[in-house]
Amino acid sequence: MKLGFEESQRPYTSPSQSARAWTERWVRDWVYCPNCGCPTISPFPNNSPVADFFCAVCKEEYELKSQKSVFDNKVMDGSYRTKCERLAASNNPNLFLLNYDLKQLTVANFLVVPKNFFVKEIIQERKPLAPTARRAGWIGSNILLNEVPESGKIFIVRGGQPEPKDSVLAKWQRTLFLREQEQEARGWLIEVMKCVEAIGRPEFNLDDVYAFEGRLGRLYPGNRNVRPKIRQQLQFLRDRGFLDFVSRGYHRLRGWKER
């Protein structure tokens, strides 16, 4: 994987237009499909409302967001209504986030957020555009990256270094089980995954997770049985290979070494 951009053939009028052309070209030339490992992915025709890239082999779809600063907690995205509709229909694309170095004309960080992590909790509604704006009243969305667990941010390039492909593919496979879940069940699993990651060490016991009881109770005020719900999620995560059972009450987070 080469990280530098190719000089574009056509002159562009603005730096952001050039960057868009460079980053799209780079993805087309160098990025493999993190779902099936196919060596290249293809662009959709320009201005496709669906997504930017797709894999011709496994049909996964990808949306590309690129910017020169490192992505922080919020990523501006398209229409809020469209996002919610696609969420409900489970046909939202996976999200590629590319952060480039404009001086070196090279990729600094490139990660993918698998679509299985898209639940309504991570889509935020923005304020409608002002009456004076060209698209007055239009409502955009933010993706709240800080609400995505670490296991849902899979780096393909980190700090100017490509990550090993087999490790990227393994990380992708590890959370695919979320796709079988309905929105609400998925929301619970993702919250418990975040709690488990927040413990900060690979092995933990039940009490470590119960420490988040208050937080989970606030997130799901209708649920009065937070502890049994936590145990149920842990068991599910164990059955799907996200966690390993060590001994009574003790679990281990898989893939910890790769973090």
Binding site for Zn ion (CB under 5 A): 33, 35-36, 38, 55, 57-58
Q: How far is the CB of 111 from Zn ion (least distance, A)?
A: 17
State the CB neighbour count (10 A cutoff) for residue 19: 19
**Cβ(226)–Cβ(206) under 8 Å?**
no
Q: Of 38 and 185, which CB lies nearer to Zn ion in the complex structure?
A: 38
Closest distance of CB 96 from Zn ion, Å: 13
CB of 103 to Zn ion, least distance (A): 33
For the chain, list the strands marked E by DSSP.
42-43, 53-54, 61-67, 74-79, 94-101, 106-113, 123-125, 140-144, 154-158, 161-162, 203-205, 243-247, 250-253
Q: Which is nearest to 74 in space by CA: 20, 139, 122?
A: 122
Choice between 33 and 148, CB closer to Zn ion: 33
59: alpha, beta or left? (left if phi > 0; alpha if psi -120 to 50): left
Cα first-last separation, the chain: 21
Q: Which two tokens stand for residue 12?
A: 């562009």
Q: Which residues contact 105 (CB under 8 A, 6 or more apart)?
A: 4, 5, 22
Give the bridge partners for 68, in sequence order.
Answer: none
CB of 42 to Zn ion, least distance (A): 10
**From the CB of 55, what's the least distance to Zn ion, in Å?**
3
Cβ atoms 124, 142 nearer than 8 A:
yes
Instruction: State which residue, 55 or 192, has the beta carbon closest to Zn ion.
Output: 55
In angstroms, what is the minimal distance from the CB of 46 to Zn ion? 22
Minimal distance, residue 167 CB to Zn ion, in Å: 17
105 Rama sector, left if φ>0, alpha if ψ -120 to 50, beta otherwise: left
Q: Which is nearer to Zn ion, 55 or 234 (CB)?
A: 55
The residue (of 27 and 195) whose beta carbon lies closer to Zn ion is 27
Instruction: State which residue, 33 or 189, has the beta carbon closest to Zn ion.
Output: 33
Largest CA distance in the chain: 64
